[in-house]
Chains A and B, each alone.
Chain A
Amino acid sequence: MDFINGFVTLANFVIVPGLAYGAQLALGALGVTLIYGILRFSNFAHGDTMAFGTTMTILITWAMQAAGIGFGVLPTALLALPFGIALTALLVLGTDRAVYRFYRVQKAAPVILVIVSMGVMFVMNGLTRFIIGVEEVNFADGGRFIVTAREFRDMTGLQEGLAIRTTQVITLITAAIAVAALFWFLGRTRTGKSMRAFSDNEDLALLSGISPERVVAVTWIITAALATTAGTLYGLDKSFKVFTYFQLLLPIFASAIVGGLGSPLGAIAGGFVIAFSEVTVTYAWRRVLTYWLPDDLAPSGLVQLMSTDYKFAVSFGILIIVLLFRPTGLFRGKVI
């Protein structure tokens, strides 16, 4: 019984939140890795693309709420998401046309494109702040819990409860759908195949008549969709704040690099690796260990390896370990 109680505590505080966070990171890392694979630079504006997409979704959510449109127990933001994606896609396509294309035609060095993306990040950050401000926004509505801790206790008769929030389940389902759609697209459709060909060998792809501008445009649209979805899910699960999204850049890049830059499968694995490391290292294990260990071994302290303030240090530590020992990442990304 003690073992099950310990496990339920673990599920409540580590496994369920870790899964949701991992899915959010994986979606973010997929966007970074796609841009890297096709356009061949690290897009530092990705965090702020997520913030912009979420802002658009929030505005449309508000408009829908004002018009009395709801989604039942599900958050209205899910209805608004397609519109948010469309607006974000317009923004990134416009950015590509106005900014990135010039450097692509010139065949500028990747590091120049990285600096350019830093400028884009500045502008997008300013734009998002301009539109929605810097305050924290909570936009989740609908049912809050699928199972509350009390219901779970009553149902099972255990001492510990397991609360599963709607947003966590939505995150996992939406992420699964998005990933399945992406892999189907990359693997089965003509456009997806031409994208992979372009990523593998640009010259060969051009010779066989693949239009580079089309591939790039499709990549940006997919990235906008992934970024907006990731941002909205993160915002629903926690809350929306411009600066937090900028800070997500580090775990997202860490996920992409740990998985192997340029490898979509790696991005997903990396997202979960980073999320679970972050949650397990910053979790206070005392309660779980009290259940699991014999009484005389029960810990007196919190058994927290690191305080939650250092969660970035976890992504960073894993990043450094990967750079030192396996710079191509778990799934052998494109180049070191």
Chain B
Amino acid sequence: MMRLNLRNLALFGVVGLLLVITGLTQSWNVALTILNMGLISAIMALGVNMQWGYAGLFNIGVMGFVALGGLAAVLIAMPPVPAAWTAGGLGVVAGLLLGAATIAGAVQVWKRMAPGRLRVAAMLAVLVAGFWLYRMVIDPATAAVEAVNPALEGYLGGLGLPILLAWPVGGLLAAGAAWLIGKAALGLRSDYLAIATLGIAEIIIAILKNEDWLARGVKNVVGIPRPVPYEVDLQRSPGFVEWARGWGTDPVAASSVVVKLAYAALFIVVLLALIWLFEKALKSPWGRMMRAIRDNEVAAGAMGKDVTRRHLQVFILGSAVLGVAGAMMTTLDGQLTPGSYQPLRFTFLVWVMVIVGGSGNNWGAVLGGFLIWWLWVMVEPIGHWLMQLITWGMAEGWLRTHLLDAAAHMRMLTMGLVLLFVLRFSPRGLIPEK
């Protein structure tokens, strides 16, 4: 949908230039790190743009879906822990099945029985009994699992499959969570979806932090297998060392750059594939229907479109994209650290990306992803520099120390102001929807 006009090309050129300048003034390693996270941010922005730009759905639980993607990386790629499986694997699986059966049973009771007090009582009875059984089965099992070599393992481990498989699986996990939320909150006021997504994100993070048997909780899972070679292996390989010398670079620095470039290549493939798919979807009758619904729900409903169903569909698709991005991010980090998921960083920053880039336009979302990520990384050093400038003439004292310390909080302020200014003066974003 983007006409490759000069203005849009120039905007992407500016982002490229910013990265090159970062590379020249700081180091290429830093520039490539920003590029890689920028690519992932762009994919997250695509997911949110799908929900907001196509359908007007307000999802502020981005963090939760991203974290589910991260969980997928652990569950797929980490080697299984056989001792933990023998200790309590069966109990955990049985407990989870019991929990699922309880909820399914309660839903069936609600659907099959005639309305009235009896139905409420029966459903509550099923839920209470089921919960009690679930705890009876799963509590000893998780305790046994967590007791297995807690310093290094203490969890069930993953499936030991290739990490790239985790990307689609992360999407599936996020889609499942989105289905649950969408079923409850869609079809009501738009704010209700916002609150519900805010809640599910907090709960997903709480589960990741506390359920040690699942992904070690706050003890973190480190050393997740990588889809690209390790720097150390490259430095040991004579062929690579020779190749690096041939370029006149230090093999150690070169290995790190090559690894980052390999990641970037993988991410670019995913990003381009998604953009291609989304542009196709946007131009199709489906895309036209979605925009019609967004612009006038009543009219679209009158034309026989099932608005709530379409909303659920696009909400699930967008969340799946967020899950994929989350799995990619955990792959890049090589570790899952539940403590590092902050709503301001993962939910609201992605929103700033979408709004600044141009809601409703995929290229805009991608541009916003790169630009805002660069800004997010750079604001802190710039803030420090600014504060040093301000406090230059000040005497040593309380105010000076306070101001210098406060530079770290410039990020929130800057991002909020950027969002407010764009919403006010250029609400259609840098690359507006056509």
Contacts and interface: CB of A to CB of B under 8 A. Distances in A.
Q: Do A and B come from one complex?
A: yes
B58 A125 contact: no
B409 A323 contact: no
Contact of A250 (B198, B355, B406, B419): B198
Contacts of A257: 192, 195
A125 B411 CA distance: 10
Interface string A20-52: 000000000000000000000110100000000
Interface in A89-123: 99, 102, 110-112, 114-116, 118-123
Nearest to B403: A130
Contacts of A112: 423, 427
Contacts of B406: 129-130, 133
A320 B409 contact: no
B199 to A, nearest CB: 4
Given A122-B412, A129-B409, A313-B203, A116 B420 contact: yes
B415 interface: yes
Which DSSP category, helix, strand, loop or mixed, fits chain A's interface? helix
Interface in A176-226: none
A17 B423 CA distance: 42
Interface string A305-336: 10101101101100110011001000000011
A115 B203 contact: no
Nearest to B411: A126
B42 to A, nearest CB: 20
B196 A323 contact: yes
Interface in B209-236: 209-210
B432 to A, nearest CB: 16
A123 B195 contact: no
B184 A247 contact: no
A310 B203 contact: yes
Nearest to A122: B416
Contacts of A99: 420, 424
A335 B424 contact: no
Given A110-B190, A126-B412, A316-B202, A120 B420 contact: yes
A250 B199 contact: yes
Interface stretch (B272-280, B323-331, B343-351, B361-369): B343-351
A253 B189 CA distance: 14
A246 interface: yes
A123 B405 contact: no
B126 to A, nearest CB: 15
Given A119-B419, A250-B202, A310-B203, A323 B351 contact: no
Find the residue from A111, A115, A122 having the highest chain B CB count within 10 A.
Answer: A122
Nearest to B195: A253
A124 B348 CA distance: 14
A293 interface: no
Nearest to B56: A111
Interface in B167-226: 184-185, 188-192, 194-196, 198-200, 202-203, 206, 209-210
Interface residues of A, number: 48
A249 B60 CA distance: 12
A127 interface: yes
Interface in B388-432: 405-406, 409-417, 419-420, 423-424, 427
Contacts of A162: none
Contacts of A320: 184-185, 196, 199
Interface string A232-266: 00000000000000110110011001000000000
B206 A127 contact: no
Contacts of B198: 249-250, 253
A116 B344 CA distance: 15
A335 B189 CA distance: 8
Contacts of B202: 247, 250, 312, 316
B184 A324 contact: yes
Contacts of A316: 196, 199-200, 202-203
B416 A121 contact: yes
A313 B200 CA distance: 8
Contact of A119 (B192, B200, B411, B416): B416
Contact of A125 (B195, B344, B351, B410): B344
Contacts of A126: 409-416
Contacts of A309: 206, 209-210
Contact of A115 (B195, B196, B351, B415): B351
Nearest to B407: A130
B348 A327 contact: no
B191 A120 contact: no
30 contacts: A42-B194, A44-B194, A102-B424, A110-B191, A112-B423, A115-B419, A118-B60, A119-B419, A119-B420, A120-B420, A121-B416, A122-B412, A122-B415, A122-B416, A123-B417, A126-B411, A129-B406, A129-B409, A129-B412, A130-B410, A250-B202, A254-B195, A307-B210, A309-B209, A310-B206, A312-B199, A316-B200, A316-B203, A319-B199, A336-B188
Given A120-B416, A123-B420, A247-B202, 14 more contacts: A111-B190, A115-B58, A119-B417, A122-B352, A122-B412, A122-B413, A122-B419, A130-B406, A301-B139, A307-B210, A309-B209, A310-B206, A316-B203, A336-B188
Interface of B: 56, 58, 60, 131, 139, 184-185, 188-192, 194-196, 198-200, 202-203, 206, 209-210, 343-344, 348, 351-352, 355, 405-406, 409-417, 419-420, 423-424, 427
Q: Which 9 A-B pairs have the closest CB atoms?
A: A122-B416, A126-B412, A126-B413, A123-B416, A316-B199, A119-B419, A129-B409, A42-B191, A119-B420
